[in-house]
Amino acid sequence: MSSSVSNRLLSLFLLLFLVHRVHAFGAGNIGSTAAIEGSNFRHGDIEDTLLTLLTARAMGGKKFSRLDVKRVYFGNWLRDYSQAVDVGTVKHVSAEAIRLLLWILGFMSFGYGTGEFEVTTERLGCYRPEEHIDNPKDYADNVDARQYDQRLRGPIDEQRELSVDPRTGLKQYIASEDLGITTSAGMVRRLFRRCIELGRQYTQTKDEKDFYEALRLLGTACHCLEDFSAHSNYVELALVELGETNVFPHVGRQTRIQLQGAPQPVFPIVTGTFGGVDFLHSVMGEFSDKVTQSELQELEGTIQQSRKQDTSLLKQLLNQIPSGIFGGKDHANEADQLQANAQAAELQNLQVSPKQPEAFTQQVEEVCKQIYPVLEFHDNIMQGITEAIEHIPILPQLLDKLQEQLNVFVFSLIAPFVLPIIKQVKAELTTGSSEVIQSSREKQLIVFNDDHCTDPTHSMLSKDHFSNVLNEPAGKVASEVLKWVVPQIVACWDDPSIDIRRTNSRIINGIFHHPALRSQGEDGAHEGRKAMFHVVKDWWQSTLGEPERETLRHKLSRQGVQQGRNHKEGVHDTGHGCGKPLGMPGVLTAASSGAIGG
């Protein structure tokens, strides 16, 4: 590197630390959970397990990089937020408006919003129970949801879908692929097949788009597998297998079945029904006497704050950086042009009510076209900087400051277009929320009132949130699942002779199982089962002391769960269960919540 370039970079470094600090956005990558890391789990924390695993030889044969993990986690993240596109929302708001808001949330969470990180209609999809292993009972109040969006699932066949399979001890919607019904296992099989095909294709074409899509699909499929320990009663039934027979199984007293291969009758593996109140708790934030900030409110606050910031420093910084880093592009001039275009477009930004669905959708589509160049501008700069870091040692120290100013600039430009849509969407969703909560609340205690019930609610059963005392073992099981599954997928990328169907069957049978059959499983499936059970056993018998176990016995009993004592006091973990804290360093935002599922 020439001395003149080094001097210019040093001057830029000094400039950044001499200017008055602006409270704005810093690096937009996924944050860590700091002091609680390792004991509380979200999907993003679980995905960090990939940092310890190797990628395919065609991808360098090194451990997954942090950016690769982001690409995987993006697929995972999308599945949580696709729940925002469901009957309860699309009846009131355009699906395109929801996509726009999730696109901006994704940009805030990942630090990129275009290319492989763009939240497209196809990638986002919609809420599908099988993606989260949710019990589809009474979905959409038993009306055909496809009248609102063709991608939503139709009415269920209760006898075929909700029965317990005596061969597996699982509800049939989980893994009974031979019944001709929609199952989580069938979905995982399709996703991994396509993921493997794209990974193999990349080894031939070296087209990075194939690799990035393979990573996204890997995250999509793994989301479902991670949800098994979070959304089912697997951990509870594993504890029963360890002799803790007073642990409440989240089903009625008279629901034991004679499972083929089990020495005695067992309670079945079930997951929760995901009704309106569960969605609101999961995505929109907690609606209670002490209303906490939801992610939609947080997005609104973050964008509003950006409007108050001075954007002039960004152009000073861009002018100081050698143009060679950006391939000779004049990004400072491009920033001026984007600003002028945004101001001109703002004058034409008409307000349309969501009650005019066709016009509102058209307005949102136009907004998407207007903000795409702004996000693309951001991503191009960040990619140029990221690629230059290895060759310019001083740049890592400049990165946070530059991105802080870059994010201020981006949000200041998109604010006039996005904020009105946020306000309109919030108003429409809040109107319908109280009705949903009132109608759903009575269903929460159904397994306590019906001894034959095998359909608990998601809110009662799931271990998504930090407050649940079983969040830790469920998260550790999910991490172990990744350690067992991902190397098998990577091996398929490397070796085209490995049979995809056989690999898929091993993975599905190894994860979706009853702990009473943990030592069984053909073609290596038993290895996955044993690994999962060992995590629960080690947590219960080695991590915990006897006083802690005794306390948990009371909390996990039928009475303890009914009284809500299986949740930690003073822990308020609201919002969706997908990710780590939302927002970018430099902005004081409410911690995004959630845990391993959603």
- Strand locations in 166-305 (E): 170-171
Residue 545, domain member (yes or no): yes
Shared-domain flag, residues 62 and 155: yes
Distance CA 344, CA 160 (A): 57
The predicted pLDDT at position 391 comes to 66
Which distant-in-sequence residues (6+ apart) come within 8 Å of 157 by Cβ?
Answer: 181
DSSP string, 471-502: HHHHHHHHHHHHHHHHHHHHHHHH-TTS-HHH
30 found inside a domain:
no
The two most distant CA atoms of the chain are separated, in Å, by 80
Q: How far apart are alpha carbons 122 and 117 in whole angstroms?
A: 13
Residues 205 and 270 in one domain: yes
Q: Are residues 311 and 444 in the same domain?
A: no
Q: Do both 271 and 320 map to the same domain?
A: no
Strand-pair partners of 54: 63
Out of 410, 432, 454, a domain closes at 432
pTM for the whole structure? 0.85
Q: What is the pLDDT along the chain (598 residues), one digit of tens a residue?
A: 444 434 433 333 333 333 332 222 222 233 333 334 455 656 667 778 888 888 878 777 888 888 899 999 999 999 988 988 888 788 878 888 889 989 998 998 898 999 999 999 999 999 999 999 999 999 988 999 999 999 999 999 999 999 999 999 999 999 999 999 999 999 999 999 999 999 999 999 999 999 999 999 999 999 999 999 999 999 999 999 999 999 999 999 999 999 999 999 999 999 999 765 555 455 444 333 222 345 666 777 777 777 666 667 787 777 777 766 666 677 878 888 888 888 777 656 656 555 566 777 888 888 899 899 999 999 998 888 777 766 665 555 666 777 788 888 888 888 888 888 887 777 776 655 544 444 455 678 899 999 999 999 998 999 988 889 999 999 999 999 999 999 999 999 999 999 999 999 999 999 999 999 999 999 999 999 999 999 999 999 999 999 999 999 999 999 999 999 999 887 755 434 433 323 333 333 333 333 334 5
In a domain, 19, yes or no: no
Chosen domain end from 377, 408, 432: 432
270 and 306 together in one domain = no
Residue 172 lies in a domain: yes
Cα separation, 421 vs 364, whole angstroms? 8
Contact at 8 Å (CB) between 152 and 130? no
Same domain, 469 and 482: yes
Overall domain count for the chain? 2
Same domain, 450 and 425: no
Tokens of 513: 């199982």
Domain boundary among 432, 467, 502: 432
* Residue 48 structural domain: 43-288+435-591
Q: Is the same domain home to 124 and 273? A: yes
* Whether the Cβ atoms of residue 481 and residue 487 lie closer than 8 Å to each other: no
Are 402 and 529 in a shared domain? no
The count of C-alpha atoms lying within 13 angstroms of the C-alpha of 31, restricted to the half-sphere facing its C-beta, is: 21
Is 511 contained in some domain?
yes
Tell me which residue has tokens 């995004």.
592
Q: Is residue 130 part of a domain?
A: yes
